Structures are given as structure tokens and as C-alpha cells.
Amino acid sequence: MEEAIIIGAGPCGISAAVELKKRGIKPLIIEKGCIANSIYHYPLSMTFFSSPENIEIGEVPFMTINDKPTRHEALKYYRKVVELYNIQVHMYERVTNMEKVNTGFLLYTETREGQKVYQAKNVIIATGYYDQPNLLNIPGENFPHVFHYFRDGHPYTGHDVVVIGGRNSAIDAALELYQSGANVTMVYRKNAFHASVKAWVKPVIESAIENERIHMVWETEVVEIKPRSIIVDSKGVRSEIRADFVFAMTGYRPNLTILEKMGARVDEKTHVPICSETMETSIPGLYLAGVVATGHDATKIFIENGRYHGEKIASDILAKVKREIGCKIKDI
């Protein structure tokens, strides 16, 4: 039986593993993809909002010549942390179900060899939020030319592309698409960009719009996607915009399926899981680390603050281990 299993090998999951190892507890991470899987699927040219020291974990310096680290640098850094701390990670293994038993938890996983079953006294869910986009729930959203993720602008050169949204991911996609030679239109339901837009990016997108390099449609919602266009509603007036490809950059939200199946308490209005100060859910031994601990607003927790969850969790698990040892000694 494992003392602690962590689901998710992102920065917050790795941080939790590091903190456990510091306290003499050997964790196992189970990850459905690769190390830092979400970061791997970020746009190829993505630059972090944070400075390197704000996303460091395990007291391992994040060295970069840039003010803000790149996706490639982050992948290399988190791989190195796993290597330095000799953390056991089972990659390309998906947790499909979990049960609470007297001794802790049973975890069921799928691998290319088939199903596996693990036992753990404690489980830490650090699955992030990037796997579950906020859907528009409109006709045509499932067309193959509609995407909720952006990787690279090159394939869309010379095409009419619509980007839906007004936060960082939408702006970054629109700028790279334009720079790659696409004819870009942005559609946003509000009348101004979100306050969270990166300070060094905002003047760039504003200049592109002012100089008509990117066409901006404010206070408008997309109501239907067709094979070569979209239908939009601007204050009750409907019109059609040509679109060979559509990027619905409408954000993401944590997947709480396992928590809900387990019967963990979740706030009905905000969908925020109820946790103690040590990040333990209403189910003893089940913890959350990182953005999965947020509800509908996944912008409240980033690597910067989620990386500290591991220390709280590891300290609480160590205290449990000490109490268990103390009880065994007393019985002897």
C-alpha cells in the first residue's frame, strides 16, 4: 500500500511530491500524459505571465535568460525537478475510478497493458483544469474546424479565422494567427478586454486592432457555427462572419467528476470543493492541490500560489503518520 498517491504530474502535483519526500514519505504520481502535460499542450510560443522565481518548486532555482520563462524552459525545469528528487511517476496511465475503503483508497487505472489497481492511505488530486474547456453549447461547436486549444499559427496562413474570447489565451492566439498570415477576427461578448490581460500584451493587441490588422467585434456573442462562417448576435442584431477556422478560447474549468463520485462536499453555487486549511476535502485522506481546488473561476489559483498547497498537505500527512506510529507503539 502506498502512503500517498498523487493524481497529476503538473507543477502543483510535483510540488506535493517534493514536499512529501522532504518529510520522508515516498509518493507515487500517476499521470495520464507526460510530465507537466498541460504545459506541454500550451501554444508552442507561449511565454509565462510569471517570473521564474514565482513558479519554482522544491527550492530548485529556475534559470532563464528571459524576464518571463517560455513553455520549453518550463518543461525542461519540471523534468529536472522530478529527476533531482527521484520522484516516481507513472506516465500515460489514466485514473478511471476511486473508492474509499477502511484502509484508505482503491484507485483504478487504465494503461496500454490493461487495468491496474492501487491502494493508498492518502490521495492528492492535482489534475488542474486544462482538460475541460468551457463549451459554448451552440450548434456547430463540434465541427472539425472548431478548436478550444491553440498550438501554432502556421497552418492557418491565408485563411479567415475567428477567435472567440477576450482574455490572454484569445489575445495570444489572435496575435500569432495574424503574424502567421491569417485574416483574424476577434469576437468578445464584453465591451473591453478582461482586466487580467498581460500588461505587456494589451498595448500590442490594441495597436493591432486600431490599425485594422485584427478586426474586433465587441459586445457580441456567437450563436451558431457553420462550415465556412459563424452567426453572431450583437445586441439583438444577427449577422454572419466568414470563418474557415474557429478558436473558441473561452477558458477552462476543473474536472470534479472523481470528487463528485466520492461524495466530497462541493459548494452548490461556486462549485468550489470544501477543503480544510490543509487542503483536505470532506473525505478524510483525500486532498486537493492546485487549480482543481477552485470552482467556476479557475483564475484564482495558479502555479504561483498552488505550489504552496503541497507543503500544507505533506505536513498534514506526516502528522497522521506520526500519530499512527505513536498508536502502534502504545499498543505494544
Domain 146-248 of CATH type 3.30.70.890 = no
Residue located via cell numbers 486544462? 130
What's the CA gap between 36 and 87, in Å, rounded?
Answer: 13
Please tell me which residue, 125 or 131, carries the higher pLDDT value: 125
Confidence tier at 327 by pLDDT (50, 70, 90): low
Q: Do domains 2-131+252-331 and 146-248 have the same CATH topology?
A: yes
Confidence tier at 270 by pLDDT (50, 70, 90): confident
Confidence tier at 66 by pLDDT (50, 70, 90): confident
Which amino acid is present at 34?
C
Confidence tier at 106 by pLDDT (50, 70, 90): very high
Query: How much is the pLDDT for 214?
Result: 98
Which amino acid is present at 318?
L
Query: How much is the pLDDT for 95?
Result: 96
H or E, element range at 116: strand 114-125
Query: How much is the pLDDT for 131?
Result: 85
Q: What CATH fold (topology level) applies to the domain 2-131+252-331?
A: FAD/NAD(P)-binding domain (3.50.50)
**What backbone torsions phi and psi does residue 224 show, to the nearest 5 degrees?**
-160, 145
DSSP string, 28-50: EEE-SSSTTHHHHTS-TT-B-SS
Percent of the chain having pLDDT more than 70?
A: 96
Please report the sign of the dihedral spanned by the C-alpha atoms of residue 321, residue 327, residue 329, residue 332: negative
Q: Where are the domains of the chain?
A: 2-131+252-331, 146-248
Confidence tier at 329 by pLDDT (50, 70, 90): low
Question: CA geometry: angle at 35 spanning 97 and 9, to 5°?
Answer: 45
pLDDT at residue 324 above 60? yes
Give per-residue pLDDT as tens, 152-206: 999 999 999 999 999 999 999 999 999 999 999 999 999 999 888 988 899 999 9
What is the maximum span of the chain, computed from C-alpha positions, in angstroms? Answer: 79
Confidence tier at 129 by pLDDT (50, 70, 90): confident
When computed from its CA atoms, the radius of gyration of the chain, rounded to whole angstroms, is 22
Confidence tier at 328 by pLDDT (50, 70, 90): low
Q: Residue 234 in contact with residue 220, Cβ under 8 Å?
A: yes
Please tell me which residue, 329 or 121, carries the higher pLDDT value: 121
Convert 218-241 to b/e letters by CB count within 10 Å (16 or more is b).
eebbbebbeeebbbbeeeeeeeeb
Query: How much is the pLDDT for 256?
Result: 87
pLDDT at residue 330 above 80? no
- What the block records as the C-alpha cell of 160 is 479567415
Among candidate residues 118, 67, 97, 149, the one with its CA nearest the CA of residue 258: 97
pLDDT at residue 37 above 90? yes
Question: CB-based contacts of 279: which residues, under 8 Å, 6+ apart?
Answer: 287, 288, 289, 293, 309, 312, 313, 316
Please tell me which residue, 67 or 154, carries the higher pLDDT value: 154
Mean pLDDT of 229-247: 97
Phi-psi region of 86 (alpha: psi -120 to 50; beta: other; left: phi over 0): left
Q: Residue 309 in contact with residue 290, Cβ under 8 Å?
A: yes
Please tell me which residue, 306 or 290, carries the higher pLDDT value: 290
Angle subtended by helix axes 11-22 and 309-331, to nearest 10: 40
pLDDT at residue 332 above 80? no
